[in-house]
Chains A and B, each alone.
Chain A
Amino acid sequence: MRIALFATCLADTLFPEAAKATVRLLERLGHEVVFPLEQTCCGQMHVNTGYQREALPLVRRYVSVFGGFDVIVAPSGSCVGSIRHQHETVAARAGERGLAERARDVGSRTYELSELLVDVLGVEDVGAYYPHRVTYHPTCHSLRTTRVGDKPLRLLRRVRGLQLVDLPAAEQCCGFGGTFALKNAETSTAMLADKISGILSTGARVCTAGDVSCLMHIGGGLSRRGADVRTVHLAEILAATEAP
C-alpha cells in the first residue's frame, strides 16, 4: 500500500527517530512510504492555545498536501485527534465551508500508527524483537480523542522478548497538555511527579507511548530525577528487530 507519512512538527524537529522508525516499520511490512516535503504542522498548538485564525493556513496546508492520498499515517494520537476533530471546526468557524468538508474527508483518511497497523493493514504481529521490560502510558489524546483503545497494547504483546508491565493510574494525564506545561508549569510538574512515581514503581527500563510530546515531558522529568528509565516511541519498539 502507498502510505503518506505526516511526521508532525515535533517528531520532525526533535524526535526524528520516531518518524524514521515509522518509515522502517512500514517498509519492512512491504508498503511504500511517501513523505511530502511541503508538510509542516497540524496547527494543534495554535488551536489549543486559542489561535484558531492563525491555525487556518496550517489546516489549509494539511488538506492540500495530503488531500491526494488514500491513507495518511502520523506517529501521534494527539495530532491525529486534532486533524480529525479540530480542522473541520477551524475551517467552519472561518466561514470556509468547502475547506471544512475537505478537512473532514482528509481527517477520515488520517490514522494514528497503531490504528493503521491493526485496523487498516490488519497486522498485530509486526515481527519486532525488543528484549526489555517496558511500561506503556496511553496518553490522553490517543486514549480519549483518537480512541486507539488497546491497539498499542495488542501490538506490544506480540513483540518478542518484550516484557510488558502495567502502569499504575495509566489513564491519568502526565501533565503535558501542550502550552499547559508552560502556562501552568507548577500544576503540570505536580502531575508529572505522580506519573513518574508510577513509572518507577513498575521497575520498567523503558516507558513507551504513541505521542512524542508526552514522552518529551515524561523524559524531561525522568532526566531531572536522574532516573535510569528511557522514553521510547511505540514506533521505535515496533521497528526494532534485534537487540540494540
Chain B
Amino acid sequence: MTTFLGMPATAPRGVGQLRGDRTFPQAAHAALGDAQLRRNLRHATATIRSRSGRVIAELPDWQQLRAAGSALKADVMARLPQLLQQLEARVSEAGGVVHWAADAHEANAIVTDLVRRTGSDRVIKVKSMATQEIGLNEALEAAGITPVETDLAELIVQLGDDRPSHILVPAIHRNRSEIRDIFRRSMPGVDPDLTDDPPVLAAAARKYLRETFLSTTVAVSGANFAVAETGTLAVVESEGNGRMCLTLPDTLITVMGLEKVVPTWADLEVFLQLLPRSSTGERMNPYTSMWTGVTPGDGPQNFHLVLLDNGRSAVLADPVGRQALHCIRCSACLNVCPVYERTGGHAYGSVYPGPIGAVLSPQLTGVADNASLPYASSLCGACFDACPVKIDIPSLLVHLRNRAPHPRAERAMMRAAAYLMDRPRAYARAQRAAKLARIAGRRGRGLPPPLSGWTAGRDLPPLPEQTFRDWWARRARAAEEA
C-alpha cells in the first residue's frame, strides 16, 4: 500500500504521545484505586453529560444534523487528496506557506525550524491535540524554545508537569485545591497567598498569560476545520485565549491533522452546530476564529500550515477503520463512557483517551503497539449513540480486535470452544461433563487465569442440575410415551 504522503504508514515510535508504556488494565489499576480521581471524573462527566443532553434536546433536527455530519465526513475521506491539494493552493494564494509532514519527526522539525528562523525562543500555544500527539512541546524544549500553553486547562497540565486526561477538559482529573498548589509551585510571579477560589485562580492565570501574549511574537495552533474552497482555517474555543494567540503575534504556525479539511464554508454550518452541543453543552462555542492566509497590516504577517499525516494515511487505507478519522474531537464519547468515567484518560496511554482513543490510537500506531486498547470497552454502545458524526465505535473496536495479536493460550481456548460448538453432540457431552466435574469448585473461587479475573468481585452461578437441551429431550420423550 502506498500512501500519498509516502512511508512510513504509521506514526513512528519514540516521539509524541500515542503509546503508553503499560497495557490498559495495568494503567487502569492505579486510577481505579484513586478515590479522589474517581470522584473528580464522575462529577465532571455527569455535569457535562446533563448539560449536553439538555441543549441537544432543544434541536428537533439533531438526528438529521448527525446524518449530515457523517455524510460530509465520508465524502471528505473519499476525496481527501484532491481536497488537500485544493486547500494548499488556496492557502498559498492567500499568502500562507503549506508544509507536508509525513510523521511526528518531520512535523516537529518543520515547526522548530520555522520558530528558529524568527529568532524567538518562546512560542504561545493554542490548545491543540495534533501538537500533543506529535510531542511538539518536548521537541521545542529540546531545541531551547519555551512553549507556553494558553488554554487554562492545558496550562494547568503543563505547569503540573502532567499529562492531559481528557480531549476537551485536559485537567478534568484535578480539583481546584490541586490546581492552586500547581499554580503556587510553578507559575512565574504568582501570589503565594493564592486561594482555591475559581475567580482567584482564573485571575492569576490571566495576569500571567496577558504578559506572555504581549511579549511573544510566535504562536502555534491546531485547527478544528480547514475550508478547502477558500483556504480558511478555523479554531473554536471557550476562553478567548486562543484568539489572542491567533491575532497578536507576528508569525502563526498551524499544525493540522490532514483529516480536518472540509470542502466548503457551508459545511461548517453543520459542524459548528454539532460540535459545541456535543462537547461543552453550549449552543454555540464562545469564540470561533477564522483566518485566511495573511492580511498586510492586520494580524500575523507570516502564516505557515503544517499538514500532518502521522499514520492517518494508514487509517484511511482501511475502509472500515477510516471512520475514526471522522472524529471532530468533541469528547462526547468520553463523557458517556462508563469505562472512561472510572479509569480516566491516563489509562489509555495516548493523548486520545476514551472510546475514540481506543479506536484511533491503535490505528495510528499500528494495532500491535496498542493491542490492549480495543479491549478497553464493554461494547456498551453509549459512545455510538452520543457521537455527533455517528462513528460506529463498537463495530470499530470489534474490527480492531480481529486484527490485534492474541495471547497464545486465549487463541487455543477460543479455537477449542469454536471446534466444540460446531459439533452439537460433543458440545452436549461437554456441557454435562462440566457439571459432573464441578471444575468451578465452590462458586468458582480458585479458578485458573484468565477465569480468576471473574472471582475478583463476583461469584459464579450455581450449576444447574440439567442443561436446557437435556430437559427438552426428556420432555419430548415423555410426551411421546404419554
Contact = CB atoms under 8 A, between A and B. Distances in A.
Contact of A47 (B29, B398, B454, B468): B398
A9 B457 contact: no
Contacts of B174: none
Contacts of B422: 40, 57-58, 61
B365 interface: no
A182 B450 contact: yes
Contact of B418 (A11, A51, A85, A189): A51
Given A14-B463, A50-B406, A140-B379, A189 B414 contact: no
* Most B C-beta atoms less than 10 A away, residue of A7, A188, A193: A188
B379 A20 contact: no
A177 B338 CA distance: 12
Given A184-B24, A186-B29, A46 B458 contact: no
Contact of A86 (B32, B38, B398, B424): B398
Interface string A147-180: 0000000000000000000000001110111111
Contacts of A46: 414, 417-418
Contacts of A43: 418, 421
A100 interface: no
Given A9-B421, A50-B402, A187-B342, A180 B377 contact: yes
Interface string B133-173: 00000000000000000000000000000000000000000
Interface in A38-56: 38-41, 43, 45-52, 54-55
Nearest to B428: A37
A173 B464 contact: no
Contacts of B377: 177, 180
Contacts of B38: 190
Nearest to B379: A177
Contact of A15 (B29, B404, B415, B464): B464
Given A20-B471, A144-B384, A181-B453, A186 B25 contact: yes
Given A58-B422, A180-B379, A224 B458 contact: yes
A216 interface: yes
Chain A: number of interface residues, binned into ranges: 35 or more
Contacts of B398: 47-48, 50, 86
Nearest to B460: A220
Main secondary structure of the interface of A (DSSP, over half): helix
Contacts of B421: 9, 40-41, 43, 58, 61
A223 interface: yes
Contacts of A47: 398, 402
Nearest to B427: A40
B93 interface: no
B461 A219 contact: yes
Interface in B439-468: 443, 450-451, 453-454, 456-461, 463-464, 466-468
Given A46-B418, A50-B406, A140-B380, A224 B469 contact: no
Interface of B: 24-25, 28-29, 32, 38, 338-339, 342-343, 372, 374-382, 384-385, 395, 398, 400-404, 406, 410-411, 414-415, 417-418, 421-422, 424, 427, 431, 434, 443, 450-451, 453-454, 456-461, 463-464, 466-469, 471-473
12 contacts: A14-B464, A16-B468, A43-B418, A51-B402, A144-B380, A177-B379, A180-B379, A181-B454, A185-B453, A186-B456, A191-B339, A219-B459
